[in-house]
A and B are shown apart, each in its own frame.
Chain A
Amino acid sequence: MKRKPLGGYLYITPLLIGVILFSVYPVIQVIWMSFHEISLADIRSETFVGFRNFKDIFAMEDPPFISVVWVTFAFVGGSVLFHVGAGLALALLLNLGWVKGKNFFRNLYMLPWITAGIMVGYTWSFLFEPRAGILNYLMSLVHLPSQSWTADPKLALPSIIIANIWRGVPYSLILETAGLQSINMELYDAAVVDGANPLQILTRITLPLVKEFILLNLILDTGLTFQVFDTIFAMTAGGPLHRTETFSIFMYYTAFKFGKIGMGSAISLLLLIFSLIIAILYIKFFRPGKERYA
């Protein structure tokens, strides 16, 4: 059937207009704004200041910029490692032919992912709560001392990472399951006929084939974890002593608490550059429309 190209444009026009308004234009604006001084009180006016916003970010003392970078990377690294590890392990187990109740487990495991991030934060705050929380109670059963968890400068970061691990495993599980299900079952049958044991099947067939999905998972999850705001905000709001202040929290405070919109834009731009690297990696490795698109 012959279709005029013009029709195609018509169908995608609503999407394009929206994308221009809510993605393309803001990206251009954020670059522009990061070189200006703009205050929250008077959002309309702007003064060009060159690179001063960026200098201010790097010269900051409370918290030092390096602390924000460290907290962010520890948070992202810790979360992603466990997300992908646990997601892959569970996906592998649920892919075993003889396991019963697959759908039950898969649906149950989805629950943290469909729960609002802010609620995940409050739920875990409650578990970590020093007096009425269940965690200290469990600790007391095995005669371990009570901890103040999210209020303790040493334990706050591990606490928010634990909550975020719980929240993010289902996403990896979905991706890895999709990966495993894309493997041709005949390969397994052939291996079994040739007398391979389960361990050999895992290391020689499944893992090499699913490697690509692990990489996809790592890239996408890093991008997602980098922007987590709500869970951290509900649990610690960046404290104590900035020990849980990630890029996202730092950007929020700079722009909307201290009213430095220009400097907030500069932080956003750094975030954007990071996301851009993630996106380029993603497209480089997983450009759709190639062989895997069959």
Chain B
Amino acid sequence: MRKSKTNYISRILVYSILILYAIITILPLYWIFITTFKTPAEAMSFPPTLIPKSFTFNNIIEIFSSSKVFGFRPFLNSTIIALGTALIIAVISFLAGYGFARYKFPGRDVLLISMLFINLLPTLAVIIPIFRLFSLYHLYDTYIGLILLFSFRTAPFTSWLMKGYIDTIPVELEESAMIDGCSSRQTMSKIIAPLAAPGLAAVAVLGFRAAWNAFFAPLILTTSEAIRPYTIALYRFVGEQGEVEWRLIAAAAFISIVPVVVTFGIFQKYFVTGLTGGAIKS
């Protein structure tokens, strides 16, 4: 590390910029956070109060009571879809990453480059044929349809990530396990999978985030309340309201942000190494 005689003024300047951007980042979220716990009267008052005078859980309760807003179901739907995606994406990416990292086979390099290519094709641009495909093959308005879509649209990227991860695990470890009499399945589950766990966590979190935050695909591919994720439920709720009730939108936003923040918080270490590792290598 450098030992420079950085003077006092430039230190203050650097910290000021970092803190200013921290405020810019946090202020909109802080605003959502405090509005979530404001009474209806205070939420609509002018001038707005930056330090809330009232405190209530009613907005959150209203969101979850289906008679008033949209209830618990959309959050349950999103949870099922996001966890399903995380699981499938972890399995597929692990297998593909292992295949790409440990085997040399004809067409391997072409396939690897193709995966990068496909990763850059926007879901937006292929949603119409997918809509048609889903309508024809009974995947429209189903959990499994959305899970498969999210998994396989993200898998080309996450497989790359896993390949990069498995590349860093010495192949000698597998070889000595084999010599000691482990079957290839045992080697996979006892040696490789535990060592690749940080990569797997990063990949699963990425899948979870993609599915939990998705709006465009479920807007087109779902219709019933039994399947609809919270993003769509909120959008419909806002559309049905005459007067926009910001305290309820804020509460819904708050509830939806908590799970991703918690997941990222728990896996943050793995996630950053996993993602930046992939970014450098890809």
CA of A166 to CA of B148, assembled, Å = 30
Cross-chain contact B253 with A282 (CB below 8 angstroms): no
Q: Which one, A119, A175, A188, contacts B279 given CB within 8 A?
A: A175
Q: Measured between alpha carbons, how far is A234 from B237 in the docked complex, in Å? A: 12
**A272 in contact with B261 (CB, 8 Å):** no
Which chain A residues lie closer than 8 Å to B26 at the CB level? Answer: 108, 111
Q: Does B193 contact A (CB under 8 A)?
A: no
A255 and B128 contact, Cβ closer than 8 Å, known pairs A9-B105, A123-B31, A178-B276: yes
Q: Given A23-B118, A109-B25, decide whether A229 and B215 contact each other with a Cβ distance below 8 A.
A: yes
**Which residues of B lie under 8 Å from residue A33 when comparing CB positions?**
128-129, 132
Contact A93 B2, beta carbon cutoff 8 Å: no
Interface 9-mer from B54-62, B66-74, B170-178, B196-204? B170-178
Q: Contact mask A2-27 → B, CB, 8 Å, 1/0?
A: 01011111111011101101111111
Task: Pick 10 A–B contacts, CB within 8 A, sort by A.
Answer: A90-B21, A93-B14, A99-B18, A108-B22, A114-B264, A115-B260, A126-B31, A178-B280, A234-B235, A265-B128
* Contact B116–A268 (Cβ < 8 Å): no
A226-B253 contact given A14-B95, A265-B129, CB 8 Å threshold: no
Contacts of B214 in A (CB 8 A): 116
CB of A55 closer than 8 Å to a CB of B: no
Return the contact of A288 from the options B96, B116, B215, B268 (Cβ within 8 A).
B116
Nearest chain B CB to A195 CB, angstrom units: 11
Find B152's partner among A19, A229, A272, A282 (CB 8 Å cutoff). A19
Q: How would you classify the secondary structure of chain B's contact residues: helix, strand, loop or mixed?
A: helix
Interface residues of A in 133-152 (CB under 8 A from B): 133-134, 137, 140
Q: Does A256 contact B (CB under 8 A)?
A: yes
Contacts of B111 in A (CB 8 A): 12, 16
Residues of B within 8 A of A282 (CB): 116, 120
A204 on the interface (CB 8 Å rule)? no
Q: How far is the CA of A23 from the CA of B93 in the complex (A)?
A: 16
Q: Does A97 contact B (CB under 8 A)?
A: yes
Most B C-beta atoms less than 10 A away, residue of A22, A105, A276: A22
Residues of A within 8 A of B124 (CB): 227, 229, 248, 251, 268, 271
B260 touches A9 (CB 8 A): no
- Contact (Cβ within 8 A) A18 B151: yes
B98 at the binding interface (Cβ < 8 Å): yes
- Chain B nearest CB, measured from A112 CB (Å): 6
Which chain B residues border A96 with CB–CB below 8 Å?
A: 6, 14
Choose among B116, B149, B171, B280 the residue that contacts A283 (Cβ–Cβ < 8 A).
B116
Known: A7-B103, A27-B121, A122-B238. A288 touches B213 (CB 8 A): no
User: SS class of chain A's interface: helix, strand, loop or mixed?
Assistant: helix
Given A11-B99, A27-B126, A192-B4, residue A293 in contact with residue B121 (CB < 8 A): no
B246 adjacent to chain A (CB < 8 Å): yes
Give the residue among A96, A97, A131, A188 with the most B Cβ atoms within 10 A. A96
Given A109-B22, A137-B47, A261-B128, 13 further pairs, Cβ under 8 A: A11-B100, A12-B100, A29-B132, A30-B126, A105-B18, A114-B209, A127-B28, A132-B48, A140-B47, A174-B275, A220-B120, A227-B122, A229-B215
Chain A residue with the shortest CB-CB distance to B99? A11
For A73, the chain B residues whose CB sits under 8 A away are: none
What is B's interface to A at a CB cutoff of 8 Å? 1-4, 6, 10-11, 14-15, 17-18, 21-22, 24-26, 28-29, 31-32, 35, 43-48, 50, 91-93, 95-96, 98-100, 102-106, 108-109, 111-113, 115-118, 120-133, 135-136, 148-149, 151-153, 155-156, 159, 171, 174-175, 178, 209, 212-216, 220, 231, 234-235, 238, 244, 246, 249-250, 253, 256-257, 260-261, 264, 268, 272, 275-276, 279-282
Who on chain B is nearest to A229 by CB? B216
Contacting pair A283 B276 (CB below 8 A): no
A9–B132 touching, CB < 8 Å: no
A54-98 near B? 1/0 per residue, CB < 8 Å? 000000000000000000000000000000001001100110111
**Contact, CB under 8 Å: A189 / B2:** yes
Taking a contact as CB atoms under 8 Å apart, the answer to whether B117 and A283 are in contact is yes
Q: Which residues of B contact A22 (CB under 8 A)?
A: 126, 130, 148-149, 152-153
**Which 6 residue pairs spanning A and B have beta carbons closest together?**
A11-B99, A8-B103, A18-B152, A29-B129, A5-B105, A116-B213
Distance between B118 CB and nearest chain A CB, rounded to angstroms: 5
Please determine whether A1 and B178 come into contact, CB atoms closer than 8 angstroms.
Answer: yes
- Write out the residue numbers on chain B whose beta carbons fall within 8 Å of the beta carbon of A126: 31-32, 35, 246, 249-250
Contacts of A93 in B (CB 8 A): 14, 17-18
| In contact, A111 and B21 (Cβ under 8 angstroms) | no
Nearest B-chain residue to A201, judged by Cβ: B2
Q: Given contacts A90-B21, A132-B46, is CB(A287)–CB(B113) below 8 Å?
A: yes
B99 x A119 contact (CB < 8 A): no
Report yes or no: A198 in contact with B129, Cβ–Cβ below 8 A.
no
